[in-house]
Structure 1
Amino acid sequence: MPPITRRRTIALAAASLAPALASPALAPSAFAQGRFPDRPIRLVIPWPAGGSADAQLRSMGEIASRALGQPVVLENKPGAGGTLGPMTVAQQSRPDGYTLTQMHLSVLRRPWMMKAPLWDPVRDFTHIIGLTGWLFGTAVKADSRFATWQEMIAYARANPGKLTYSTSGIGTSNHLAMETLLEMEKVEITHVPFRGSNEGVTAALAGQVDMVSDSSAWAPFVEAGSMRALSVWTAERAARFPTVPTLKELGYDMEVTSPYGVSGPKGMDEGVVQVLHDAFKAALFDPENERIRGQFDMPLVYRNTEDYRDFVARRVDYEKMMVKRLNLTLDG
């Protein structure tokens, strides 16, 4: 693979995570103390309010509250690339089931981007349930020279380094996926990272980058006719874009949805985990939550507790490999 200028050292506000992970004393079984839950449950969202994950989890929490008999209260705690919230839960919360967090791929990836990992994604959490992910894809301006993904790849092969693509940041799932695709094709396209997918879409519409490779912030512009989607990265074609091929249809054995779930501190009682899993699963499949996921093009990626823990362990191995391959490092 040709040298990649985007393999640059990344700045991260990791200072806030510097204290070594604490090991909260294990609480007695919630069932030994009475019915679980007997007070509100706090679900920490590591992003600002108003995004797709916030909306999906807020809906799920409201629905799950009915079965649990207690409110599920969302707390937005953004920072440190989406890892501050989960780390706060791991470091400062008792494993009694009353403090949970969204678990996403950056939490699995970022320890291996540090010289000295501050947490272990497998050992330092109790993983409960896998939920959903995002619709990712590649889109260009409507007047782009490229009508298809294949035309774009052919041009990139004939013109190394002349094309650019945007993502929502170095080391994100979509960045790693694009690097994998380019490596498969043995082509060089310059990566231009932004702080979020909306900024990348704006840059593509302004002609500052040739295409955007990110979550579906581009979708409304494709529907409006100002952008053209070249690929989607889900297992099946997106219902909103039935003519746009998947990566598998384009010849790549890949599916990229950046799936996330819900986890708690390490050492949680397995009976409590079962109660939470069952309530969240019922909420996930509730028609109202399905409506919210459809609104944001979020594919269903349900995994039960055992399968989700297995997924996390296997995904950590993959993230370690990709971080090493792309030489992704963090300062601080």
Structure 2
Amino acid sequence: MTRKTFITRRTLLSTGAAASAMTLAAPGILRAQSFPERNISVYIPTREGGGADRNFRAFTSVWKEKLGTDFEPGFYPGASGRVGYEIYMGKAEPDCYSLIFGNMGPEVLNWAMQEPTFDINDYFYFGRVDVDPSCLFVGAESPFQTMDAIIEEAQKRTMTVGTSRMAHPASIGLLALGEKTGASFNLIPLSGGKNTVAGAVTGEVDFSVLTSGSVVAAGDAVKTLLVFGENRVGERLDNAPGINEAFDMNLPEMLSARAFGIHRAAAEQYPDRYARLQETFAASFEDPALLEAYVATGGAPEYLSYGGVEECAQFMKDMLELGAKYKPLLTGA
């Protein structure tokens, strides 16, 4: 925790020499008071107009009022997010004026599939905005309307399963389910949430797995049978149970969890700047305007969820470990 020094009017007026000595002894105090002096650049490793962009704009519309400056996004889609991270780590200055805003689940799984050119310990996430658990769902007209029916069928033959991309938390959830039950599944990457929903609805695949926000948006066209985490929205996911409850497992939540990250060097070299980013980020969750902005972009209010360094680090650790475990089955990533 950063200790703050308060300089009173009496202290400042006592002598010019004392004031000068204070300035020389604690330059970090002055840096914290003046930071930020310009806008914050944010690297977003997906396309403009997508879910991350909408989430970013909703959150920063409130955060900028707390921090006292604006945020300038740059979009770097490609290679399932790898391009954006490579550019951020390779070109952005580690001075707390540059952040990355990513989807921790699938993007961290990238590093388990193939190591990046940078050391993954050279950046970390410090501020989680939301949590969107993955789920398993069928089309409304599917012959498989219960998990019992799916498990029974998948123990007889290999069922085809749509996923937005191979290296995804939803894919991990399905593979863990197959390992637990002896069911056989063949993941089919359908390139994006809309196609993954359509695959289940049209019968192109037997069923699909995806983050639940997109499934809620599909409405009555689909039916959710299982959540790879906590069902925070109840009936909007057909009151589907969580995998741990239904199958006596201990799987970490398989989430789409968007978060702000920063160079480790920036946090270490400019601790006062970093502390101000942390403090104002957390303060944004106390403002009712944040929930309004988040819901206005289509986010479920139950998914807006503050997470700090420890929560983000634990989730990143879980994704790396599970990614390594299931890497042989995710070689199409």
TM-score with structure 2 setting the length: 0.79
CA distance in 1, matches of 2:321, 2:217: 35
Q: 1:155 to 1:43 in 2, by over 3 A?
A: same
Distance in 2 separating the partners of 1:136 and 1:310? 18
Q: 1:329 to 1:30 in 2, by over 3 A?
A: farther
Q: Over aligned residue pairs, what C-alpha RMSD do you find?
A: 2.6
Are the structure 2 counterparts of residues 112 and 248 from structure 1 closer, same or farther at C-alpha, using a change threshold of 3 Å? closer
User: Displacement, 1:186?
Assistant: 0.9
Post-superposition shift, 1:131?
Answer: 2.6
- Consecutive unaligned residues of structure 2, counting only runs of 5 or more, are 1-26
Aligned residue number for residue 304 of structure 1: 308
Contact 2:58–2:294 at 8 Å: present in 1 too? no
Conservation of the 8 A alpha-carbon contact between 1:141 and 1:211: yes
1:25 is matched with which residue?
Answer: none
Q: Report the equivalent of 1:150.
A: 148
Q: 1:111 to 1:147 in 2, by over 3 A?
A: closer
SS of 2:256's equivalent in the other structure is coil
What is the Cα deviation at residue 312 of structure 1?
3.1
CA distance in 2, matches of 1:33, 1:146: 58
Q: In structure 2, how many angstroms separate the alpha carbons of the residues matched to 1:76 and 1:315?
A: 24
> How many Å apart are 1:235 and its aligned residue?
1.8
| 2:242 counterpart of 1:246 | yes
Q: How does 1:1-332 map to 2 (within 5 A)?
A: 31-32=30-31, 35-103=34-102, 104-114=104-114, 117-121=116-120, 123-157=121-155, 159-161=156-158, 163-215=159-211, 216-221=213-218, 223=219, 225-239=220-234, 240-241=236-237, 243-251=239-247, 252-254=249-251, 255-268=253-266, 269-294=270-295, 295-297=298-300, 299-313=303-317, 315-323=319-327, 325-326=328-329, 328=331
1:110 match: secondary structure: helix
SS of residue in 1 equivalent to 2:246:
coil
- Shift of the alpha carbon at 1:188? 0.6
Query: Structure 1 residue 277: deviation in Å?
Result: 1.5
Secondary structure of residue in 1 paired with 2:290 = helix
Using the alignment, how far apart are the partners of 1:210 and 1:167 within structure 2?
A: 11
**AA paired with 1:56?**
N
* Post-superposition offset of 1:316: 2.9
Q: Deviations over 1:15-56 (max 9, x none)?
A: xxxxxxxxxxxxx96954861101100112111122222212
What SS does the corresponding residue of 1:230 show, helix, strand or coil?
Answer: strand
Q: CA separation in 2, counterparts of 1:204 and 1:194?
A: 11
Distance in 2 (CA, whole Å) between partners of 1:210 and 1:192 is 10
Distance 2:290 2:303 in 1: 12
Please give the alpha-carbon distance, in whole angstroms, between the structure 2 residues aligned to 1:78 and 1:134. 21
Q: Is the 8 A contact 1:232 1:238 kept in 2?
A: no
CA contact (8 A) 2:174 2:209 kept: yes
Q: Does structure 2 retain, via aligned residues, the 8 Å contact 1:237–1:244? A: no
Q: Which moved more, 1:190-199 or 1:251-260?
A: 251-260
User: Which whole-Å CA distance do the structure 2 matches of 1:220 and 1:311 have between them?
Assistant: 26
Aligned to 2:18: none
Identity of aligned residues (%): 22
- Aligned to 2:132, the other structure's residue is in SS state coil
How far is the alpha carbon of 1:80 from its aligned partner? 1.8
CA distance in 1 between counterparts of 2:66 and 2:259 reads 19
Q: Which has the larger radius of gyration?
A: 2
- Contact 1:111–1:120 (8 Å) recurs in 2: no
Structure with the bigger percentage of helix: 2
Distance 1:241 1:112 in 2: 30
- For 2:109 and 2:59, the matched residues in 1 are separated by 26
CA distance in 2, matches of 1:44, 1:89: 7
Q: Deviations over 1:144-173 (max 9, x none)?
A: 22221122112211x221x21100111222
Q: 2:175–2:326: 8 Å Cα contact kept in structure 1?
A: no
Change (3 A) 1:291 1:110: same
Higher relative contact order (Cα pairs below 8 Å, separated by 6+ residues): 1
SS of 1:248's equivalent in the other structure is helix
Query: Which deviates further from its counterpart, 134-143 or 191-200?
Result: 134-143
When structure 1 is superposed on structure 2, of 206-215 and 281-290 the one drifting more is 281-290
CA 1:95–1:200 in 2, change beyond 3 Å: closer, same or farther? same
Q: Name the CA distance, whole Å, in 2 between partners of 1:310 and 1:191.
A: 26
